[in-house]
Amino acid sequence: MAEKPIISIEKVIKNYPVGGKEFRALKDITLSINKGEFAGIVGPSGSGKTTLLNIIGSLDVPTQGEAHVLDKNIAELSHNEAAKLRNYNIGFIFQVFNLLPVYTVFENVEFALLLQKNTVEQRRKAVYDALEWVGLQDHANKRPDKLSGGESQRVAIARAMVKRPKILLADEPTANLDSENAHGILKTMKMLNKELQTTFLFSTHDEKVMGYLDRTIHLRDGALEKDIIENKTTSV
């Protein structure tokens, strides 16, 4: 029996009010993502990648259709339930890192765990494990303004991964990085995907990222254009 998808999107439509009119950002999207996938939503700017990622991350809700993440209907979650889902099961990596500037690297990574009920020792171990994954254990006491772009994004990965989420959503994670750093980050994420069986879902239009993906979901103008799983292509 096939395993139930970890993310299931069913005929999702998302409209935004723009200048008094409704702008349709997502048009009837249907897709599912299984546990452990290393997938990316790709497409040009304005194609709806981030919107879809935000709905999956329970930061937004569909206007129509249903989005189920870990068997939870996103539209039916209260603010607190959505926060809990994000806190325990979803990690985020942002294009501009979004590190908290007044905290050290250690504290930034620890932050996600502070919202959970862990002991100081558990937190400490988890944070140093996460920093080791990204090779920044020696930078624990630095503040974000002392880090390079690549290092900052590594901290963001450690922060997203420290709580061992089931899903990691990365919105243009390499957009602000040079080629060398981008490859380094992607290799780290690929390693984590294999080791921890975390489902990675990217939003990107970076060719470098696409080279690492096992699956690329192509969006154009808010609609699903094609879904390529390794060598198997599904046109929509």
Partner 1 sequence: MKLALKLAFKNLWGAGTRTVLNVLVLSFSFVIIILLNSIMDGWDQQAQKDSIVWEFGEGHLLHKQYDPLDSFTILDGHGPIPKNQLGITPILVYQATIYPQGRMKGIVLKGIDSNQTILELPIEKVKTSEAKFPVIIGKRLAESAKLNKGDEVQIRWRDKNGTYDANTLTIVDVFDSNVPNIDNGQIWMDIKTLWKMTDLNQEASFFVADKNYKAEALPLWRFKSQEALLKQLKDLINQKKTGQAIIYLLLMAIALLAVFDTQILSIFRRQKEIGTYIALGMTRSRVVRLFTIEGSMYSILALIVGSIYGIPFFMYLAQVGFAVPPADQKMGIAIAEVIFPIYGIKLVLSTILLVVISATIVSYLPARKIAKLNPVLALKGKQQ
Q: Which residues bind partner 1 (CB under 8 A)?
A: 54, 57, 59-60, 79-80, 83-84, 86-88, 92, 94, 96, 98, 100-103, 107, 111-112, 114-115, 159
Nearest distance from C-beta of residue 83 to partner 1, angstroms: 4
86 vs 218, beta carbon nearer partner 1? 86
Nearest distance from C-beta of residue 26 to partner 1, angstroms: 13
Structural tokens at position 36: 């452990």
Q: Identify the bridge partners of residue 220 per DSSP, sorted by sequence position.
A: 223
162 vs 189, beta carbon nearer partner 1? 162
Torsion angle of alpha carbons 150, 152, 153, 158, nearest 10°?
130
84 vs 164, beta carbon nearer partner 1? 84
Nearest distance from C-beta of residue 202 to partner 1, angstroms: 16
32 vs 98, beta carbon nearer partner 1? 98
Long-range contacts of 222-227 (CB under 8 A, 24+ apart): 222/14, 222/24, 222/25, 222/26, 222/27, 222/29, 222/47, 222/48, 222/51, 223/27, 223/28, 223/29, 223/48, 224/29, 224/30, 224/31, 225/43, 227/31
Nearest distance from C-beta of residue 195 to partner 1, angstroms: 22
